[in-house]
Structure 1
Amino acid sequence: MRISTVTMFDQSVASMNRQQSDFLKVGQQIASGRRVVNPSDDPQAASRSVGVSQAMAVTQQYADARVTARNSLAQAESVLNSVADAITSAKTLLVQAASDTLSDVDRQSVASELRGIYETLIGQANATDGNGRYLFGGYQDNSPPFARTAGEGVSGVNYVGDTNTREQRIDASRLMPVADNGKTIFQSVPSGAGYVARAEKASPGNISIGTQPDHVRNEGSVAFTSGPNRVDPNNADFGKPFELEFSSDVDGNPVYSVSVVEEDGTRTPIVTDATYVSGRTVSFGGVNITLEGTPVDGDQIQLRPANNENANQDLFKSLKDAIDLLELDQGGMDDNRAHFRNTVNTVMRELDNSLDNVLTVRASMGARLNELDVVDAVGGNRMMNYEQTLSDLVDLDYSKAIAEYSLRQVGLQAAQKAFVDVKGLSLFNFL
């Protein structure tokens, strides 16, 4: 077979180009550190690496979301820590104010301190995060969730946010609440809260706060010194509102009756005309309460479960009642002193419930922060697995690549030397 000079030249040039292309490809792999520089290098590995890269991007997005969630929860938890301290300080001041050794002026001084705590709590309830969003407004995080309402003395406070809870997806299967709404924190009680007793004085010209929707009359000097306490949660009437009313028997001795207040407002008697003895503990409906003092016919004491819709669950209202009470003159009258003790006891129980609720919400936030740490650890392990898989698919084995680089270099040099030798072949050299 006759082989022309042109054929030999073409084959030599093609061989050099092929060797140079292989040499350049290995050089690109070494320079980039990747075995698959172009999809054509390994189509299957390139396709799988795209899927792994997308999964890594999603995992990183969840990691960034967890950072945001952790910041929000940490800020809210810090605020609730301050709120719990403020409620504890308010309880301490009320214990101090309940002392019989204090004068009305002394109690007014305590009231001024309570007013400061009241203002502090409003500020904490309207706290914002670092981006100017209100922490406890639900989805309405662009305006203060608690707004003042005009009134005498200390202004009231209304919640104007919504009852939704902002959530953030921190993982593919977990949507986590990252900010509790203010109503849940400042205007609710824990599910296990017990009963709250209330007795109010409503005589014109004397102490009158009027904190209940359906007013309770109490003109005598009866005060509840202990309770209400739960004694039998299995009682058929336990958990229902009770109303205790005083009257007199035929001999003029005080007696009391207890009724269950149904949802429709009807009253079902469960105790009728029981003898009242000052200082004695009375029991009914699975609860007991210790009463002392002298009642007046028609006086009433109301006992409601703390989570009843008509019971006061508003932390700000409890403090407002306490401030209004401490700023009033007792006048040295037994009935006024009884009203003072009753209101202080009621507010103390309400503050206890509010504190328990704040601590419950704070514990929930702490649990979510712990969960974020666990999900972070899982996400970190997942990211490491993705990185290892991606490395196995597209990363370069440098020792193997360097050996191939040297081999391709020798091949290119051999092809170049062969071309030089072929180019030098000519019959004219022998003429």
Structure 2
Amino acid sequence: MRISTVTMFEQSTASLNRQQGDLSKVSQQIASGRRVVNPSDDPQAASRAVGVDQSLAITDQYKDSRISARNTLSQTDSILGSIVDAIDSAKGRLVQASSDTLSDVDRESVASELKGIYETMIGQANATDGNGRYLFGGYKDNAQPFKKDASGNVEYQGDNNVREQRIDSTRLMAVADNGKTIFKSVPSSAGFVAEAKKDDGSLNSGNVTFRGPQIRDVNDVDYGTDFRITFNTPAETFDVETFDGTDWIPVATQTGVTYTGGDGGSAQQVTYGGVSINLEGTPAAGDSILVAQAGGEQREPDLFRAMEEAIRVLESPADTDAKKADLRNTLNTAMRDLDNALDNVSTVLASVGARVNELDVVDVVGGNRMLNYTETLSNLVDLDYAEAISEYSLRQVGLQAAQKTFVDIKGLSLLNYM
């Protein structure tokens, strides 16, 4: 077989190019630290690496989401802790104001302190996060959730939704409770609250005061039913009434009941639906005492309203028997409202703490997942430097041998021997 000089040159050149290509490929691997520099280097590994890399990026996004959720929950935790302290402080002031030794001026001073606490609560309820969004407005986070109306009463302007954030592929976490849940709700364990007001919402004209209410029998067939005690004309009798959804209807067995708790007598206990309340003092016709389930339709919970009522009664001089009765009854009601509000805010605060703890757990799981993905990706595309350096040395020797061979072949000629 005849081998031409051109053929030998072409074969030598091809061998040089191949050796140079192999050496260049190993050089790129060492420079990049990756075994798979181009998809053609290992198509199967490159394809799997794309999927793992996407999973790694998504897991990292969830990590950022958890950081954002933790920041919001930490702010909420701090604010709710301040609200708990404020309610505790307000309760202490109400206990102080209940003392018979205080003068009108003293009570007015207490009212001034309560105003400061009240304004602090409103400020905390309208707190914003680091992005300028209101924390407790639900989805309506671009406007203050709590505003005073024309009468000076605080109204909730937000919605009833709870802002949620996805912290993992299978977990959507509430990161900000709405203001109604925090400031206008009571825990499920809340009992009954009494309030002394007439049917039209005005103050009673007499000086009847109440103690309680107290739960006597939770197994009573009418337990949980709101009722109202209304004094008749003349006021020596009263009716116990229940609400049928449209109007107050007298209870047949407790209509025209003789009132015996007047001044100088012992308190009269009135019981309905397993709940009792003690009354004493002199009533006026039309006076009424409402006994309602806390958080029910007849008496919706409202932390700010409780504060407003307490401030109102403390600012007003107790210079008549009716005003003294209003003072006692209003403080009694406000104390129960604050107790329920404290329990409710504490429950939400505990829920926030539980969510922060859950974030810690999900962080650990996410960290382990990130580690697994990183390890898998490394196994697929990362370079084994020891093996690569050995390969580089081998390719270098191969290239040198090809170059030496080419030089030797190029110099072969019969003319050298003639």
Q: Secondary structure at the match of 1:245?
A: strand
Counterpart residue type for residue 186 of structure 1: F
Which residue is equivalent to 1:14? 14
Cα offset, 1:214, TM superposition: 4.1
Which residue is equivalent to 1:148? 148
C-alpha separation between the residues in 1 aligned to 2:375 and 2:274? 64
Cα offset, 1:103, TM superposition: 0.3
Cα offset, 1:96, TM superposition: 0.4
Counterpart residue type for residue 348 of structure 1: M
Any idea what the Cα deviations from partners look like across 1:210-252, whole Å, max 9, x if unmatched? xxx7437633332123x21223222221111111234699xx9
C-alpha separation between the residues in 1 aligned to 2:26 and 2:216? 84
Q: Secondary structure at the match of 2:360?
A: helix
Any idea what the Cα deviations from partners look like across 1:80-99, whole Å, max 9, x if unmatched? 11111111111110110110
The answer on whether the counterparts of 2:268 and 2:278 sit within 8 Å (CA) in structure 1 is yes
Cα offset, 1:172, TM superposition: 1.3
Any idea what the Cα deviations from partners look like across 1:275-323, whole Å, max 9, x if unmatched? 6453354432121223333444543211011111231412111111111
Count residues in correspondence: 412
Which residue is equivalent to 1:259? 241
C-alpha separation between the residues in 2 aligned to 1:302 and 1:328? 22
The answer on whether the counterparts of 2:313 and 2:326 sit within 8 Å (CA) in structure 1 is no
Any idea what the Cα deviations from partners look like across 1:325-357, whole Å, max 9, x if unmatched? 0011111x3332222111100011111111111
Counterpart residue type for residue 260 of structure 1: T
Any idea what the Cα deviations from partners look like across 1:98-154, whole Å, max 9, x if unmatched? 100000010001111111111111111111112211111122212211112223xxx
| Distance of aligned partners of 1:420 and 1:411 in 2 relative to their CA distance in 1, 3 Å threshold | same
> Which residue among 377, 384, 389 is the counterpart of 1:390?
377
Any idea what the Cα deviations from partners look like across 1:37-83, whole Å, max 9, x if unmatched? 00000001001100111111111111111111111111112111111
Cα offset, 1:266, TM superposition: 3.7
C-alpha separation between the residues in 1 aligned to 2:327 and 2:312? 11
Which residue is equivalent to 1:42? 42
Which residue is equivalent to 1:118? 118
Residue 196, structure 1, aligned to residue 193, structure 2: yes
Counterpart residue type for residue 316 of structure 2: L
C-alpha separation between the residues in 1 aligned to 2:373 and 2:325? 71
The answer on whether the counterparts of 1:330 and 1:336 sit within 8 Å (CA) in structure 2 is yes
Same amino acid, percent of matched pairs: 62
Residue 327, structure 1, aligned to residue 315, structure 2: yes
Any idea what the Cα deviations from partners look like across 1:155-190, whole Å, max 9, x if unmatched? 211111222221111111222111111122112222
Q: TM-score normalised to the size of structure 2?
A: 0.93
Q: Secondary structure at the match of 1:267?
A: strand
Greater shift in the superposed pair: 38-47 or 296-305? 296-305
Counterpart residue type for residue 283 of structure 1: T
Structure 1: 5+ residue runs without aligned partners?
Answer: 203-212
| 1:7-406 pair list within 5 angstroms | 7-151=7-151, 155-200=152-197, 214-215=200-201, 218-225=204-211, 227-246=212-231, 254=236, 256-269=238-251, 270-272=253-255, 273=257, 276-277=260-261, 278-279=266-267, 281-331=269-319, 333-406=320-393
C-alpha separation between the residues in 2 aligned to 1:214 and 1:352? 27
Greater shift in the superposed pair: 387-396 or 139-148? 139-148
Greater shift in the superposed pair: 36-45 or 351-360? 351-360
The answer on whether the counterparts of 1:69 and 1:168 sit within 8 Å (CA) in structure 2 is yes
C-alpha separation between the residues in 2 aligned to 1:232 and 1:394? 73
C-alpha separation between the residues in 2 aligned to 1:229 and 1:52? 63
Counterpart residue type for residue 66 of structure 1: R
The answer on whether the counterparts of 1:146 and 1:157 sit within 8 Å (CA) in structure 2 is yes
The answer on whether the counterparts of 2:63 and 2:366 sit within 8 Å (CA) in structure 1 is yes
RMSD value over aligned CA atoms?
A: 2.0
C-alpha separation between the residues in 2 aligned to 1:394 and 1:384? 16
Q: Secondary structure at the match of 2:143?
A: coil
Q: Secondary structure at the match of 1:244?
A: strand
Q: Secondary structure at the match of 1:96?
A: helix
Cα offset, 1:192, TM superposition: 2.2
The answer on whether the counterparts of 1:196 and 1:349 sit within 8 Å (CA) in structure 2 is yes
Any idea what the Cα deviations from partners look like across 1:402-425, whole Å, max 9, x if unmatched? 111111111111111111111121
C-alpha separation between the residues in 2 aligned to 1:26 and 1:289? 91
Which residue is equivalent to 1:206? none
Q: TM-score normalised to the size of structure 1?
A: 0.90
The answer on whether the counterparts of 1:28 and 1:37 sit within 8 Å (CA) in structure 2 is yes
Any idea what the Cα deviations from partners look like across 1:18-51, whole Å, max 9, x if unmatched? 1111111111111111110000000010011001
